[in-house]
Amino acid sequence: MLAQRLTVVREGIAAACVSAGRDSSEVTLIVVTKFHPVSVMRELFELGVRDFGENRHQEAEAKAAELGDLDLNLHFIGQLQSNKAAAVRRYADVIHSVDRAALVTALGKASDDVLECFLQLNLTDDPSRGGVAPGDLVALAELAAATPSLRVLGVMAVAPLATDPRPAFVRVREASEVLQGVIPAATFISAGMSYDYVEAIAEGATHLRIGTAITGERPPAS
Ligand SMILES: *Cc1c(COP(=O)(O)O)cnc(C)c1O
């Protein structure tokens, strides 16, 4: 089942790239394995998956330790408290959810190594959703650019559910252009999930975060 669903998604990505006139080598599939056991991650690794997404610190930390024998990339995609920043830095290869000055400062202090990150945009009017308001993106980008231990790869966003995702991804692409005005190398876009990755690819997404379409329904949070 897992292998079959993974194949369906990989083929869906390839087809969406063809429709968008893009090369599928520009697109990284991150399989979101939150709430699933490490056995599922090992099985996915066997199937060639190298990029995994997790959204809760304790769970991600434990999984990173258990999977220390595998050469994988762990992407932290969940809301992150500043007081956990140093701990997450230790095991995460990329953090997708950098969304406020206090977090940039905390991550910047935590290490001399360079950490790759995305600046998360909030596309809703609800501040509890995580993400920086689009109007505050430039100020956040300037702060991150002035933080030597952070390398900003691009913007990240979650499209609002239950509406046409395409206009949301247009806004993400526009925000990506704004970000590149501050950090020219920050050309990547982390966007697109199980039910909207085709639209995300059409608007330039380079990092897809796909869970349920590959893993099946998540078990309840433990
Ligand atoms: C859970 C999650 C995903 C994956 O969602 P699916 O609908 O299962 O594909 C992507 N991004 C973030 C930030 C998530 O928390």
Residue 221 in any domain: the answer is no
- In this structure, what token pair is assigned to residue 169? 């991804």
Per the structure, the count of domains in the chain is 1
Nearest residue (by CA) to ligand 1, atom 13, is 77
Residue 15 in any domain: the answer is yes
- In this structure, what token pair is assigned to residue 110? 């935590």
Residue 222 in any domain: the answer is no
Residue 123 in any domain: the answer is yes
Q: Report helix, strand or coil for 103.
A: helix
Alpha carbon distance 74, 168 (integer Å):
26
Residue 220 in any domain: the answer is no
Range of the domain at 78: 2-215
For the whole model, what pTM was predicted?
Answer: 0.97
Residue 211 in any domain: the answer is yes
| Cβ atoms of 94 and 73 closer than 8 Å | yes
Residue 56 in any domain: the answer is yes
Give residue 134's pLDDT: 96
Distance 158 CA to ligand 1 centre (A): 8
Sign (positive or negative) of CA dihedral 63, 64, 65, 67 = positive
| Cβ atoms of 96 and 103 closer than 8 Å | no
**Does 212 contact ligand 1 (Cβ within 6 A)?**
yes
- Residue 151 CB neighbour total at 10 angstroms: 16
Residue 59 in any domain: the answer is yes
Q: What is the pLDDT of residues 53-93, one digit of tens each?
A: 999 999 999 999 999 999 999 999 999 999 999 999 999 99
Distance 30 CA to ligand 1 centre (A): 10
- In this structure, what token pair is assigned to residue 80? 């992150």
β-strand partners of 52: 31, 74
- CATH number for 100: 3.20.20.10
β-strand partners of 190: 156, 207
Q: Given a cut of 80, is residue 175 above it in pLDDT?
A: yes
Q: 58 Cβ partners below 8 Å, 6+ apart?
A: none
Q: For the chain, what is the mean pLDDT? A: 96
